[in-house]
A and B are shown apart, each in its own frame.
Chain A
Amino acid sequence: MTAGDDRAQDSTSERTALVEAAGPRSWRRAFNDLGQGWKQRPLWGYLGWQDIKQRYRRSVLGPLWISISMGVIATAMGILYGALFGEDIATFLPYVATGLLIWNFVNGCILEGSEVFIANEGLIRFLPAPLSLHVYRLVWRQTLFFLHNLVVWAILMIVFPQSLSWTVLLAIPAFAVLVLNGAWIAVLAGIIATRFRDIPPIIASITQLLFFMTPIVWSYERFRSNPLAAYIELNPVLHYVEIIRQPLLGLPIAWHHWYVVGAITVVGCATALVCMRNYRSRVAYWV
Protein backbone atom coordinates (compact mmCIF):
# COMPACT_ATOMS: atom_id res chain seq x y z
CA MET A 1 0.00 0.00 0.00
CA THR A 2 1.34 3.42 -0.93
CA ALA A 3 1.35 6.56 1.14
CA GLY A 4 -1.43 7.91 -1.06
CA ASP A 5 -3.65 4.98 -0.15
CA ASP A 6 -3.09 5.68 3.51
CA ARG A 7 -4.09 9.26 3.12
CA ALA A 8 -7.25 8.42 1.23
CA GLN A 9 -8.27 5.97 3.90
CA ASP A 10 -7.44 8.35 6.68
CA SER A 11 -9.66 11.03 5.24
CA THR A 12 -12.50 8.55 4.88
CA SER A 13 -12.22 7.26 8.42
CA GLU A 14 -12.01 10.81 9.64
CA ARG A 15 -15.24 11.54 7.83
CA THR A 16 -17.06 8.54 9.19
CA ALA A 17 -15.70 9.07 12.67
CA LEU A 18 -17.00 12.60 12.72
CA VAL A 19 -20.33 11.68 11.23
CA GLU A 20 -21.55 9.78 14.23
CA ALA A 21 -20.04 12.12 16.78
CA ALA A 22 -23.17 14.21 17.08
CA GLY A 23 -26.83 14.33 16.14
CA PRO A 24 -28.06 15.26 12.69
CA ARG A 25 -28.04 18.95 13.60
CA SER A 26 -24.48 19.84 14.40
CA TRP A 27 -22.05 22.58 13.46
CA ARG A 28 -19.25 20.08 13.29
CA ARG A 29 -20.95 18.03 10.64
CA ALA A 30 -21.92 21.09 8.65
CA PHE A 31 -18.31 22.31 8.58
CA ASN A 32 -17.14 18.77 7.99
CA ASP A 33 -19.35 18.59 4.90
CA LEU A 34 -17.88 21.85 3.58
CA GLY A 35 -14.35 20.66 4.32
CA GLN A 36 -14.78 17.22 2.78
CA GLY A 37 -16.35 18.76 -0.30
CA TRP A 38 -13.45 21.16 -0.61
CA LYS A 39 -11.00 18.26 -0.40
CA GLN A 40 -12.66 16.70 -3.43
CA ARG A 41 -11.46 19.54 -5.67
CA PRO A 42 -10.21 17.17 -8.39
CA LEU A 43 -13.71 15.70 -8.65
CA TRP A 44 -15.79 18.86 -8.89
CA GLY A 45 -13.07 20.56 -10.89
CA TYR A 46 -13.32 17.78 -13.43
CA LEU A 47 -17.12 17.65 -13.36
CA GLY A 48 -17.40 21.42 -13.76
CA TRP A 49 -15.24 21.33 -16.88
CA GLN A 50 -17.16 18.34 -18.10
CA ASP A 51 -20.45 20.26 -17.76
CA ILE A 52 -19.10 22.94 -20.07
CA LYS A 53 -17.52 20.57 -22.58
CA GLN A 54 -20.74 18.56 -22.58
CA ARG A 55 -22.73 21.53 -23.77
CA TYR A 56 -20.48 22.05 -26.77
CA ARG A 57 -19.59 18.43 -27.49
CA ARG A 58 -19.05 17.71 -31.16
CA SER A 59 -19.21 21.39 -32.06
CA VAL A 60 -16.16 22.67 -33.90
CA LEU A 61 -15.58 25.81 -31.85
CA GLY A 62 -16.51 24.20 -28.52
CA PRO A 63 -16.58 26.41 -25.44
CA LEU A 64 -15.52 29.35 -27.63
CA TRP A 65 -19.24 29.60 -28.36
CA ILE A 66 -19.73 30.97 -24.83
CA SER A 67 -17.54 33.97 -25.65
CA ILE A 68 -19.06 34.41 -29.11
CA SER A 69 -22.68 34.41 -27.99
CA MET A 70 -21.81 36.76 -25.14
CA GLY A 71 -20.07 39.06 -27.61
CA VAL A 72 -23.02 39.10 -29.98
CA ILE A 73 -25.60 39.77 -27.25
CA ALA A 74 -23.50 42.48 -25.59
CA THR A 75 -22.85 44.22 -28.91
CA ALA A 76 -26.48 44.13 -30.01
CA MET A 77 -27.78 45.35 -26.63
CA GLY A 78 -25.06 47.97 -26.37
CA ILE A 79 -25.93 49.43 -29.76
CA LEU A 80 -29.71 49.24 -29.22
CA TYR A 81 -29.82 50.75 -25.73
CA GLY A 82 -27.03 53.16 -26.59
CA ALA A 83 -29.18 54.51 -29.41
CA LEU A 84 -32.32 54.54 -27.22
CA PHE A 85 -30.68 56.54 -24.42
CA GLY A 86 -28.42 58.57 -26.71
CA GLU A 87 -25.18 57.24 -25.24
CA ASP A 88 -21.72 57.28 -26.79
CA ILE A 89 -20.97 53.79 -28.13
CA ALA A 90 -17.28 53.94 -27.22
CA THR A 91 -18.09 54.05 -23.50
CA PHE A 92 -21.55 52.51 -23.45
CA LEU A 93 -20.74 49.28 -25.30
CA PRO A 94 -17.97 48.25 -22.82
CA TYR A 95 -20.33 49.35 -20.00
CA VAL A 96 -23.12 47.04 -21.16
CA ALA A 97 -20.76 44.16 -21.92
CA THR A 98 -19.10 44.33 -18.48
CA GLY A 99 -22.45 44.60 -16.75
CA LEU A 100 -23.77 41.57 -18.62
CA LEU A 101 -20.63 39.61 -17.82
CA ILE A 102 -21.18 40.10 -14.09
CA TRP A 103 -24.94 39.63 -14.37
CA ASN A 104 -24.53 36.27 -16.10
CA PHE A 105 -22.50 34.99 -13.15
CA VAL A 106 -24.99 36.30 -10.57
CA ASN A 107 -27.94 34.97 -12.54
CA GLY A 108 -26.33 31.55 -13.03
CA CYS A 109 -25.54 31.17 -9.33
CA ILE A 110 -29.06 32.14 -8.23
CA LEU A 111 -31.03 30.21 -10.87
CA GLU A 112 -28.95 27.06 -10.97
CA GLY A 113 -28.38 27.38 -7.23
CA SER A 114 -32.07 26.88 -6.56
CA GLU A 115 -31.94 23.66 -8.61
CA VAL A 116 -28.55 22.47 -7.40
CA PHE A 117 -29.76 19.58 -5.24
CA ILE A 118 -32.88 18.81 -7.27
CA ALA A 119 -30.81 18.45 -10.44
CA ASN A 120 -28.34 16.13 -8.70
CA GLU A 121 -31.06 13.95 -7.21
CA GLY A 122 -29.57 10.74 -8.63
CA LEU A 123 -26.10 11.38 -7.28
CA ILE A 124 -27.39 12.42 -3.86
CA ARG A 125 -29.59 9.33 -3.51
CA PHE A 126 -27.13 6.77 -4.79
CA LEU A 127 -23.58 7.91 -4.05
CA PRO A 128 -22.50 9.08 -0.62
CA ALA A 129 -20.79 12.45 -1.09
CA PRO A 130 -20.72 15.78 0.76
CA LEU A 131 -23.60 18.07 -0.22
CA SER A 132 -21.22 20.96 -0.69
CA LEU A 133 -19.62 19.10 -3.59
CA HIS A 134 -22.57 19.99 -5.81
CA VAL A 135 -22.37 23.63 -4.77
CA TYR A 136 -18.63 23.84 -5.46
CA ARG A 137 -19.20 22.25 -8.86
CA LEU A 138 -21.88 24.80 -9.71
CA VAL A 139 -19.84 27.83 -8.64
CA TRP A 140 -16.76 26.50 -10.43
CA ARG A 141 -18.76 26.02 -13.63
CA GLN A 142 -20.09 29.59 -13.39
CA THR A 143 -16.55 30.83 -12.78
CA LEU A 144 -15.41 29.09 -15.96
CA PHE A 145 -18.26 30.74 -17.87
CA PHE A 146 -17.20 34.08 -16.41
CA LEU A 147 -13.60 33.58 -17.55
CA HIS A 148 -14.76 32.70 -21.06
CA ASN A 149 -16.89 35.84 -21.14
CA LEU A 150 -14.00 37.91 -19.87
CA VAL A 151 -12.47 37.47 -23.34
CA VAL A 152 -15.21 39.78 -24.66
CA TRP A 153 -14.22 42.43 -22.12
CA ALA A 154 -10.55 42.10 -23.15
CA ILE A 155 -11.42 42.53 -26.83
CA LEU A 156 -13.58 45.58 -26.09
CA MET A 157 -10.73 47.13 -24.09
CA ILE A 158 -8.60 46.88 -27.22
CA VAL A 159 -11.27 48.23 -29.58
CA PHE A 160 -12.49 50.98 -27.23
CA PRO A 161 -9.57 51.77 -24.89
CA GLN A 162 -10.70 53.00 -21.45
CA SER A 163 -8.54 54.89 -18.97
CA LEU A 164 -7.64 51.86 -16.86
CA SER A 165 -5.42 52.38 -13.81
CA TRP A 166 -4.08 50.23 -10.97
CA THR A 167 -7.66 49.97 -9.70
CA VAL A 168 -8.28 47.28 -12.33
CA LEU A 169 -6.60 44.91 -9.85
CA LEU A 170 -9.53 45.53 -7.48
CA ALA A 171 -11.61 43.40 -9.81
CA ILE A 172 -9.81 40.31 -8.52
CA PRO A 173 -10.82 40.57 -4.83
CA ALA A 174 -14.23 41.81 -5.98
CA PHE A 175 -14.73 38.68 -8.06
CA ALA A 176 -13.50 36.52 -5.18
CA VAL A 177 -16.19 38.09 -2.98
CA LEU A 178 -18.75 37.46 -5.73
CA VAL A 179 -17.75 33.77 -5.88
CA LEU A 180 -18.18 33.44 -2.10
CA ASN A 181 -21.63 34.99 -2.42
CA GLY A 182 -22.48 32.62 -5.26
CA ALA A 183 -21.70 29.73 -2.93
CA TRP A 184 -23.86 30.87 -0.02
CA ILE A 185 -26.79 31.73 -2.24
CA ALA A 186 -26.62 28.30 -3.88
CA VAL A 187 -26.55 26.54 -0.49
CA LEU A 188 -29.44 28.59 0.85
CA ALA A 189 -31.62 28.63 -2.27
CA GLY A 190 -30.75 24.99 -2.97
CA ILE A 191 -31.86 23.70 0.43
CA ILE A 192 -35.05 25.79 0.58
CA ALA A 193 -36.01 24.97 -3.01
CA THR A 194 -35.50 21.25 -2.43
CA ARG A 195 -38.03 21.36 0.39
CA PHE A 196 -40.48 23.82 -1.22
CA ARG A 197 -40.76 23.26 -4.95
CA ASP A 198 -42.50 26.60 -5.55
CA ILE A 199 -39.27 28.42 -4.85
CA PRO A 200 -37.50 27.88 -8.21
CA PRO A 201 -40.23 29.62 -10.27
CA ILE A 202 -40.43 32.43 -7.71
CA ILE A 203 -36.68 32.89 -7.89
CA ALA A 204 -36.81 32.85 -11.70
CA SER A 205 -39.34 35.72 -11.71
CA ILE A 206 -37.40 37.73 -9.16
CA THR A 207 -34.11 37.46 -11.04
CA GLN A 208 -35.84 38.55 -14.24
CA LEU A 209 -37.13 41.63 -12.43
CA LEU A 210 -33.71 42.25 -10.88
CA PHE A 211 -32.12 42.36 -14.33
CA PHE A 212 -34.15 45.41 -15.24
CA MET A 213 -33.70 47.04 -11.83
CA THR A 214 -29.93 46.75 -12.09
CA PRO A 215 -28.01 49.29 -14.16
CA ILE A 216 -26.75 46.98 -16.89
CA VAL A 217 -28.41 48.16 -20.08
CA TRP A 218 -29.02 51.64 -18.69
CA SER A 219 -26.58 54.13 -17.25
CA TYR A 220 -26.62 54.59 -13.49
CA GLU A 221 -24.70 57.87 -13.80
CA ARG A 222 -27.45 59.44 -15.86
CA PHE A 223 -30.18 58.18 -13.52
CA ARG A 224 -28.56 59.64 -10.40
CA SER A 225 -30.24 63.06 -10.76
CA ASN A 226 -33.64 61.34 -10.52
CA PRO A 227 -35.16 61.31 -6.98
CA LEU A 228 -35.91 57.60 -7.42
CA ALA A 229 -32.19 56.80 -7.67
CA ALA A 230 -31.93 56.26 -3.92
CA TYR A 231 -34.36 53.36 -4.15
CA ILE A 232 -32.24 51.66 -6.79
CA GLU A 233 -29.53 51.34 -4.15
CA LEU A 234 -31.85 48.93 -2.32
CA ASN A 235 -31.19 46.37 -5.03
CA PRO A 236 -28.34 44.23 -3.67
CA VAL A 237 -27.19 43.11 -7.12
CA LEU A 238 -26.37 46.72 -8.02
CA HIS A 239 -23.56 46.77 -5.44
CA TYR A 240 -22.06 43.51 -6.70
CA VAL A 241 -22.11 44.78 -10.27
CA GLU A 242 -20.51 48.08 -9.29
CA ILE A 243 -17.59 46.67 -7.28
CA ILE A 244 -16.44 44.71 -10.33
CA ARG A 245 -17.52 47.02 -13.14
CA GLN A 246 -15.89 50.17 -11.75
CA PRO A 247 -12.37 48.71 -11.71
CA LEU A 248 -12.83 46.88 -15.02
CA LEU A 249 -13.79 50.13 -16.78
CA GLY A 250 -11.35 52.39 -14.95
CA LEU A 251 -14.19 54.34 -13.32
CA PRO A 252 -13.72 56.06 -9.94
CA ILE A 253 -14.29 53.60 -7.09
CA ALA A 254 -17.33 54.26 -4.90
CA TRP A 255 -16.37 52.52 -1.65
CA HIS A 256 -19.85 52.41 -0.14
CA HIS A 257 -20.68 49.54 -2.53
CA TRP A 258 -17.90 47.51 -0.89
CA TYR A 259 -19.35 48.10 2.57
CA VAL A 260 -22.80 46.99 1.48
CA VAL A 261 -21.41 43.89 -0.23
CA GLY A 262 -19.32 43.07 2.84
CA ALA A 263 -22.36 43.28 5.12
CA ILE A 264 -24.51 41.12 2.81
CA THR A 265 -21.70 38.56 2.52
CA VAL A 266 -21.40 38.17 6.31
CA VAL A 267 -25.15 37.89 6.86
CA GLY A 268 -25.60 35.57 3.86
CA CYS A 269 -22.80 33.21 4.85
CA ALA A 270 -24.09 33.03 8.41
CA THR A 271 -27.64 32.25 7.25
CA ALA A 272 -26.40 29.61 4.81
CA LEU A 273 -24.32 27.97 7.56
CA VAL A 274 -27.29 27.82 9.93
CA CYS A 275 -29.36 26.29 7.14
CA MET A 276 -26.58 23.81 6.41
CA ARG A 277 -26.40 22.84 10.08
CA ASN A 278 -30.12 22.31 10.50
CA TYR A 279 -31.19 20.82 7.20
CA ARG A 280 -28.09 19.24 5.60
CA SER A 281 -29.07 15.73 6.62
CA ARG A 282 -32.64 16.24 5.40
CA VAL A 283 -31.75 17.03 1.80
CA ALA A 284 -31.26 13.35 0.89
CA TYR A 285 -34.81 12.72 2.16
CA TRP A 286 -36.30 15.67 0.31
CA VAL A 287 -34.86 15.27 -3.18
Chain B
Amino acid sequence: MVSIDIEGADVDFPVFDAKTRSLKKAVLGRAGGAIGTDSKVPVIEALRDITISLRKGERVALVGHNGAGKSTLLRLMSGIYEPIRGRARVVGKVAPVFDLAVGMDPEISGLENILIRGLFLGMTRKQMEAKVDDIAAFTELGDYLSMPLRTYSTGMRVRLALGVVTSIDPEILLLDEGIGAVDAEFLAKARNRLHELVERSGILVFASHSDEFLADLCDTAIWMDRGTIREHGPLRDVLAHYKGRDVLAEIDAR
Protein backbone atom coordinates (compact mmCIF):
# COMPACT_ATOMS: atom_id res chain seq x y z
CA MET B 1 0.00 0.00 0.00
CA VAL B 2 1.44 3.32 -1.08
CA SER B 3 1.53 5.74 1.82
CA ILE B 4 3.44 8.48 3.57
CA ASP B 5 3.08 8.71 7.34
CA ILE B 6 5.05 11.26 9.26
CA GLU B 7 4.52 11.65 12.98
CA GLY B 8 5.93 14.48 15.06
CA ALA B 9 9.06 14.64 12.92
CA ASP B 10 11.75 17.24 13.58
CA VAL B 11 14.67 18.04 11.29
CA ASP B 12 17.58 20.09 12.62
CA PHE B 13 20.55 21.07 10.52
CA PRO B 14 23.77 21.46 12.42
CA VAL B 15 25.67 24.49 11.16
CA PHE B 16 29.36 23.80 11.34
CA ASP B 17 31.59 26.73 10.59
CA ALA B 18 35.30 26.30 10.07
CA LYS B 19 35.87 26.53 13.80
CA THR B 20 33.34 24.06 15.11
CA ARG B 21 33.72 21.43 12.42
CA SER B 22 37.22 20.50 13.46
CA LEU B 23 38.74 17.84 15.59
CA LYS B 24 40.80 20.37 17.51
CA LYS B 25 37.75 22.06 18.89
CA ALA B 26 36.12 18.74 19.77
CA VAL B 27 39.20 17.51 21.59
CA LEU B 28 39.75 20.79 23.42
CA GLY B 29 36.06 20.98 24.20
CA ARG B 30 36.12 17.61 25.87
CA ALA B 31 39.28 18.41 27.78
CA GLY B 32 37.61 21.54 29.06
CA GLY B 33 34.90 19.47 30.68
CA ALA B 34 32.09 19.93 28.17
CA ILE B 35 29.84 16.92 27.78
CA GLY B 36 29.59 16.88 24.03
CA THR B 37 30.30 19.05 21.07
CA ASP B 38 26.97 18.55 19.34
CA SER B 39 25.14 20.66 21.87
CA LYS B 40 27.46 23.56 21.10
CA VAL B 41 26.93 23.40 17.37
CA PRO B 42 24.23 25.87 16.39
CA VAL B 43 21.30 24.22 14.64
CA ILE B 44 18.69 25.44 12.22
CA GLU B 45 15.33 24.00 13.06
CA ALA B 46 14.23 23.29 9.51
CA LEU B 47 11.14 21.25 10.40
CA ARG B 48 9.23 21.24 13.67
CA ASP B 49 6.72 18.62 14.75
CA ILE B 50 5.49 17.63 11.31
CA THR B 51 2.58 15.21 11.22
CA ILE B 52 1.18 14.23 7.84
CA SER B 53 -0.58 11.20 6.51
CA LEU B 54 -0.94 10.81 2.74
CA ARG B 55 -2.66 7.98 0.89
CA LYS B 56 -2.87 6.74 -2.65
CA GLY B 57 -4.34 9.20 -5.15
CA GLU B 58 -3.55 12.34 -3.17
CA ARG B 59 -2.12 15.25 -5.11
CA VAL B 60 -0.66 17.71 -2.70
CA ALA B 61 0.65 21.20 -3.35
CA LEU B 62 3.35 22.51 -1.04
CA VAL B 63 3.22 26.28 -0.65
CA GLY B 64 5.08 28.70 1.56
CA HIS B 65 7.71 31.41 1.50
CA ASN B 66 11.33 30.73 0.66
CA GLY B 67 12.97 28.88 3.54
CA ALA B 68 9.67 27.72 4.98
CA GLY B 69 10.81 24.09 4.78
CA LYS B 70 9.17 22.92 1.55
CA SER B 71 12.28 21.35 0.08
CA THR B 72 13.33 19.86 3.40
CA LEU B 73 9.92 18.27 3.80
CA LEU B 74 10.19 16.77 0.31
CA ARG B 75 13.59 15.35 1.18
CA LEU B 76 12.24 13.95 4.41
CA MET B 77 9.53 12.20 2.36
CA SER B 78 12.11 10.82 -0.06
CA GLY B 79 14.15 9.29 2.77
CA ILE B 80 17.24 11.42 2.20
CA TYR B 81 16.90 12.90 5.69
CA GLU B 82 15.81 10.78 8.58
CA PRO B 83 13.98 12.73 11.29
CA ILE B 84 15.95 13.67 14.40
CA ARG B 85 12.88 13.01 16.51
CA GLY B 86 9.57 11.45 15.54
CA ARG B 87 8.93 8.92 12.78
CA ALA B 88 8.74 8.92 9.03
CA ARG B 89 7.32 5.91 7.24
CA VAL B 90 7.23 5.94 3.47
CA VAL B 91 6.01 2.89 1.58
CA GLY B 92 6.29 2.81 -2.19
CA LYS B 93 8.68 3.49 -5.02
CA VAL B 94 9.80 7.09 -4.63
CA ALA B 95 10.88 9.26 -7.57
CA PRO B 96 12.27 12.61 -6.46
CA VAL B 97 12.78 15.42 -8.97
CA PHE B 98 14.75 17.98 -6.98
CA ASP B 99 17.86 19.29 -8.62
CA LEU B 100 17.86 18.23 -12.24
CA ALA B 101 21.61 18.66 -12.63
CA VAL B 102 22.51 16.21 -9.86
CA GLY B 103 23.32 12.70 -10.97
CA MET B 104 23.62 13.86 -14.56
CA ASP B 105 27.06 13.61 -16.09
CA PRO B 106 27.61 16.29 -18.74
CA GLU B 107 30.32 14.31 -20.51
CA ILE B 108 28.27 11.23 -21.33
CA SER B 109 25.37 10.89 -23.72
CA GLY B 110 21.70 11.46 -22.95
CA LEU B 111 21.05 7.74 -23.31
CA GLU B 112 23.69 6.83 -20.73
CA ASN B 113 22.31 9.48 -18.40
CA ILE B 114 18.84 7.97 -18.78
CA LEU B 115 20.26 4.60 -17.79
CA ILE B 116 22.10 5.96 -14.73
CA ARG B 117 19.14 7.99 -13.54
CA GLY B 118 16.90 4.94 -13.92
CA LEU B 119 19.32 2.74 -11.96
CA PHE B 120 19.42 5.34 -9.19
CA LEU B 121 15.64 5.22 -9.05
CA GLY B 122 15.74 1.49 -8.44
CA MET B 123 15.18 0.15 -11.97
CA THR B 124 17.23 -2.63 -13.50
CA ARG B 125 19.31 -2.20 -16.62
CA LYS B 126 16.98 -4.38 -18.67
CA GLN B 127 13.91 -2.45 -17.59
CA MET B 128 15.56 0.82 -18.55
CA GLU B 129 16.66 -0.50 -21.93
CA ALA B 130 13.05 -1.42 -22.59
CA LYS B 131 11.92 2.10 -21.70
CA VAL B 132 14.44 4.00 -23.80
CA ASP B 133 12.24 4.22 -26.92
CA ASP B 134 9.35 5.46 -24.85
CA ILE B 135 11.52 8.14 -23.25
CA ALA B 136 13.00 9.14 -26.61
CA ALA B 137 9.49 9.60 -28.01
CA PHE B 138 8.28 11.55 -25.00
CA THR B 139 11.26 13.88 -24.81
CA GLU B 140 11.29 14.42 -28.61
CA LEU B 141 15.08 14.56 -28.42
CA GLY B 142 15.61 11.95 -31.16
CA ASP B 143 19.21 11.66 -32.35
CA TYR B 144 20.26 14.18 -29.74
CA LEU B 145 20.12 11.39 -27.17
CA SER B 146 23.44 10.05 -28.41
CA MET B 147 25.15 13.44 -27.95
CA PRO B 148 26.96 14.35 -24.71
CA LEU B 149 24.69 16.03 -22.19
CA ARG B 150 26.81 19.20 -22.11
CA THR B 151 25.50 20.07 -25.59
CA TYR B 152 21.91 20.18 -24.25
CA SER B 153 20.03 23.33 -23.40
CA THR B 154 18.44 23.67 -19.94
CA GLY B 155 15.01 22.89 -21.37
CA MET B 156 16.29 19.75 -23.03
CA ARG B 157 17.78 18.57 -19.75
CA VAL B 158 14.47 19.13 -17.99
CA ARG B 159 12.75 17.06 -20.69
CA LEU B 160 15.22 14.27 -20.18
CA ALA B 161 14.84 14.23 -16.40
CA LEU B 162 11.06 14.36 -16.57
CA GLY B 163 11.04 11.70 -19.26
CA VAL B 164 12.95 9.29 -17.05
CA VAL B 165 10.96 9.99 -13.92
CA THR B 166 7.57 9.69 -15.56
CA SER B 167 8.51 6.54 -17.47
CA ILE B 168 9.46 4.45 -14.46
CA ASP B 169 5.95 4.37 -12.97
CA PRO B 170 6.85 5.75 -9.58
CA GLU B 171 4.33 5.30 -6.81
CA ILE B 172 5.34 8.51 -5.08
CA LEU B 173 6.39 11.46 -7.17
CA LEU B 174 8.08 14.37 -5.39
CA LEU B 175 8.56 17.51 -7.50
CA ASP B 176 10.47 20.57 -6.37
CA GLU B 177 10.00 23.66 -8.55
CA GLY B 178 12.66 24.33 -11.17
CA ILE B 179 10.72 22.65 -13.94
CA GLY B 180 9.74 25.94 -15.54
CA ALA B 181 12.38 26.06 -18.25
CA VAL B 182 10.41 24.07 -20.77
CA ASP B 183 8.40 25.34 -23.70
CA ALA B 184 4.64 25.55 -23.44
CA GLU B 185 3.82 22.68 -25.78
CA PHE B 186 6.03 20.29 -23.89
CA LEU B 187 4.63 21.53 -20.61
CA ALA B 188 1.12 20.60 -21.69
CA LYS B 189 2.41 17.15 -22.58
CA ALA B 190 4.22 16.82 -19.26
CA ARG B 191 1.04 17.80 -17.45
CA ASN B 192 -0.93 15.15 -19.28
CA ARG B 193 1.69 12.61 -18.42
CA LEU B 194 1.80 13.68 -14.76
CA HIS B 195 -2.01 13.53 -14.66
CA GLU B 196 -1.97 10.00 -16.04
CA LEU B 197 0.73 9.03 -13.63
CA VAL B 198 -1.11 10.29 -10.58
CA GLU B 199 -4.37 8.74 -11.69
CA ARG B 200 -2.74 5.40 -12.38
CA SER B 201 -1.08 5.10 -9.02
CA GLY B 202 0.37 6.83 -6.12
CA ILE B 203 0.96 10.16 -4.53
CA LEU B 204 2.18 13.45 -5.92
CA VAL B 205 3.72 16.15 -3.75
CA PHE B 206 4.59 19.28 -5.65
CA ALA B 207 6.35 22.36 -4.27
CA SER B 208 5.96 25.39 -6.50
CA HIS B 209 5.29 29.11 -6.60
CA SER B 210 3.30 28.77 -9.83
CA ASP B 211 -0.39 28.90 -8.86
CA GLU B 212 -1.48 27.81 -12.30
CA PHE B 213 0.65 24.72 -12.26
CA LEU B 214 -0.52 23.86 -8.76
CA ALA B 215 -4.15 24.41 -9.67
CA ASP B 216 -3.73 22.11 -12.62
CA LEU B 217 -2.03 19.20 -10.87
CA CYS B 218 -3.09 19.27 -7.24
CA ASP B 219 -6.31 19.10 -5.26
CA THR B 220 -5.10 19.57 -1.71
CA ALA B 221 -2.39 21.79 -0.27
CA ILE B 222 -0.04 22.11 2.66
CA TRP B 223 1.02 25.60 3.72
CA MET B 224 4.46 25.51 5.28
CA ASP B 225 5.50 28.36 7.53
CA ARG B 226 8.80 28.53 9.42
CA GLY B 227 9.22 24.78 9.51
CA THR B 228 5.74 23.92 10.66
CA ILE B 229 2.51 23.06 8.89
CA ARG B 230 0.30 26.13 9.08
CA GLU B 231 -2.61 24.65 7.20
CA HIS B 232 -3.47 21.41 5.42
CA GLY B 233 -6.69 21.22 3.42
CA PRO B 234 -8.37 21.72 0.05
CA LEU B 235 -6.18 23.58 -2.43
CA ARG B 236 -8.64 26.46 -2.87
CA ASP B 237 -8.89 27.26 0.83
CA VAL B 238 -5.21 26.95 1.61
CA LEU B 239 -4.13 29.02 -1.40
CA ALA B 240 -6.73 31.66 -0.54
CA HIS B 241 -5.48 31.93 3.04
CA TYR B 242 -1.85 31.91 1.96
CA LYS B 243 -2.27 34.57 -0.73
CA GLY B 244 -5.06 36.48 0.96
CA ARG B 245 -7.29 36.24 -2.13
CA ASP B 246 -9.11 33.54 -4.07
CA VAL B 247 -6.37 32.61 -6.53
CA LEU B 248 -8.23 29.72 -8.11
CA ALA B 249 -11.18 31.93 -8.99
CA GLU B 250 -8.81 34.31 -10.75
CA ILE B 251 -7.27 31.46 -12.73
CA ASP B 252 -10.73 30.17 -13.68
CA ALA B 253 -11.79 33.64 -14.79
CA ARG B 254 -8.90 33.88 -17.25
Contacts and interface: CB of A to CB of B under 8 A. Distances in A.
Contacts of A202: 23
A54 B22 contact: no
A199 B23 contact: yes
A20 B120 contact: no
Contacts of A196: 21-23, 26
Interface of B: 13-14, 16, 21-24, 26, 75, 78-84, 87-94, 96, 98-99, 101-103, 105, 107-108, 112, 115-116, 119-120, 122-127, 169, 171
Contact of A40 (B21, B87, B119): B119
Contacts of A125: 75, 80, 102
Given A19-B79, A284-B80, A126 B93 contact: no
Interface of A: 2, 4-5, 8-9, 11-13, 16-17, 19-20, 24, 40, 42-43, 46-47, 50, 54, 57, 122-129, 195-199, 202, 281, 284-286
Contacts of B13: 285
Contact of A5 (B24, B82, B112, B127): B127
B12 to A, nearest CB: 8
B127 A4 contact: yes
Q: Which of B79, B81, B82 gathers the greatest number of chain A CB atoms within 10 Å?
A: B82
A126 B74 CA distance: 10
A54 B107 contact: yes
Contacts of B102: 122-123, 125-127
A196 B75 CA distance: 24
Contacts of A129: 120
A154 B21 CA distance: 46
Given A13-B92, A284-B81, A42 B125 contact: yes
A46 to B, nearest CB: 7
